[in-house]
Amino acid sequence: MSFEEENDSLLEEVFELLEGPDCENPEVILLIGRSGAGKSSLVNTLHKVLTGRFYTIAKQGSGQAQTVTLDLFRYDNCGVKLHRISDKNTKERLTNLLPKLPHILDCAGLADENTPKLREIIELLIGGYIRPGTSIDALEKKQEKCGIGRLKEVFKPDPACKVSKIVFMQGCIDDIPKNLIQCLREVLKISNPATLTRKYQCEIFVLITKYDLVNESRDPNLDGNGISVDEFKKTETEIAEAFCNVGAVGCNTLRWVSFTDNVGFSESQIRNRALKFLKKMIEPGVPKMPEPTFSDRLEEYLYQTLHKLRRACIKQIRERHLNCLSIIGGLVIAFFFIYVISCLLRAGV
């Protein structure tokens, strides 16, 4: 099968996924990584693949500034507008499916560090607290003024901006930002103390960019920037180990080439990788746990309160501040009270 034939098949699969019941709400994808990883190039490439026209709808940086001083951009439905689609059949198919295409959040390049300051900003990004167009530089200044850990009191989360999938982008010739990866992992480990479930249930993918620089024979035309296949595989393994998902390399790690990187890759090959990535982003992922109801949170709180009361009573007995009968009586009353409330909650009263 040629690339053109496979691309037609992939595009049809994308349409079928968009038409399915699993795609009622569009995914919100956060692109994260250091400057120069190719985040903006990815947005432009997806736009080209879906519309047939190349526009620099996302500004591409030089990759020199490893800072967090730019803005957060949102590209609704991959930045695609119906009037820009050149192919008549694609335009017709996407007329009703366009609102189901993923939304992409393009975050400014992040520093390679693992600090409370950066963890809070990443958490705000994932939780939908930061609105598109926000200056990350201004956000940092607000963070300094309010104090680290207080920004969630300032911003109200927007459910439409809450991230469902994270794409970590890493250039195959660039140093791996292990501190940034650890920072992201720690944010994703945050759990809800009341329900003991993960607070941010996002799928994470790794996109290894600049794959056009991988060359078996070390082509001299690459000006010394190329790497061998073995070196690339080593980088791929190191990234997987940093995320502790070696077993999921084949599933959650993808190789990427942008149109702006076009060195030795045909347009159909680049389109092929882009469609595979898009299909992966639209496919239904790991089932997410439902949000706990008010009754669930109240019941959990009551049981935790009883546990704390029991520990406090045991401590008091050991220190001989209270007699055994009063302790037992208090525990019985507390347990009976919690039991009655739990029964009422389960009965829907």
Q: Are strands 28-32 and 103-106 parallel, antiparallel or unpaired?
A: parallel
Q: What is the pLDDT of residue 247?
A: 46
Task: For residues 209 and 308, state if they share a domain.
Answer: no
C-alpha closest to that of 128 among 24, 23, 28: 28
C-alpha closest to that of 248 among 205, 285, 212: 205
Say if residue 246's pLDDT is above 70. Answer: no
Where a domain ends, among 261, 282, 303? 282
Residue 287 lies in a domain: no
Task: For residues 191 and 337, state if they share a domain.
Answer: no
Distance CA 116, CA 130 (A): 17
Task: For residues 182 and 160, state if they share a domain.
Answer: yes
CATH number of 194's domain: 3.40.50
- Pair of tokens at residue 109: 């390049």
Task: For residues 228 and 336, state if they share a domain.
Answer: no
Task: For residues 321 and 226, state if they share a domain.
Answer: no
Task: For residues 121 and 233, state if they share a domain.
Answer: yes
Task: For residues 48 and 9, state if they share a domain.
Answer: yes
User: Which residue type is seen at 147?
Assistant: G
Residue ranges of the alpha helices (H) in the chain? 3-19, 39-51, 88-97, 116-127, 136-146, 178-188, 229-243, 249-252, 267-282, 294-318, 324-346
**Cα 134 from chain centroid (whole Å):** 18
C-alpha torsion 126→179→118→251, nearest 10: -10
Say if residue 206's pLDDT is above 90. Answer: yes
Residue 236 lies in a domain: yes
Distance CA 319, CA 332 (A): 21
Task: For residues 203 and 70, state if they share a domain.
Answer: yes
φ and ψ at residue 94, rounded to 5 degrees: -85, -5
Task: For residues 266 and 322, state if they share a domain.
Answer: no
Instruction: Quick: pLDDT tens for 297-345.
Output: 666 666 667 667 667 766 766 666 555 556 556 666 666 666 666 666 5
Where a domain ends, among 282, 305, 326? 282
CB burial class (10 A; 0-12, 13-18, 19+) of residue 99? exposed
- What does each C-alpha distance from 219 to 53, 128, 216, 228 come to in angstroms? 30, 44, 8, 10
Task: For residues 208 and 310, state if they share a domain.
Answer: no
Where a domain ends, among 227, 256, 282? 282
C-alpha closest to that of 105 among 178, 172, 183, 33: 33
Residue 288 lies in a domain: no
Task: For residues 311 and 244, state if they share a domain.
Answer: no
Residue 176 lies in a domain: yes
Residue 135 lies in a domain: yes
> To the nearest whole percent, how much of the chain has pLDDT over 90?
36
Instruction: Quick: pLDDT tens for 125-140.
Output: 999 998 888 888 888 8
Task: For residues 24 and 68, state if they share a domain.
Answer: yes
Domain of 147?
A: 3-282
Distance CA 195, CA 78 (A): 34
Q: What is the pLDDT of residue 329?
A: 61
User: By three-state DSSP, how is residue 222 classified?
Assistant: helix
Rounded mean pLDDT of 274-279? 94
Q: Are strands 103-106 and 165-171 parallel, antiparallel or unpaired?
A: unpaired
> To the nearest whole percent, how much of the chain has pLDDT over 70?
72
Instruction: Provide the domain count of the chain.
Output: 2
| H/E run at residue 254 | strand 253-255
Residue 195 lies in a domain: yes
Residue 289 lies in a domain: no
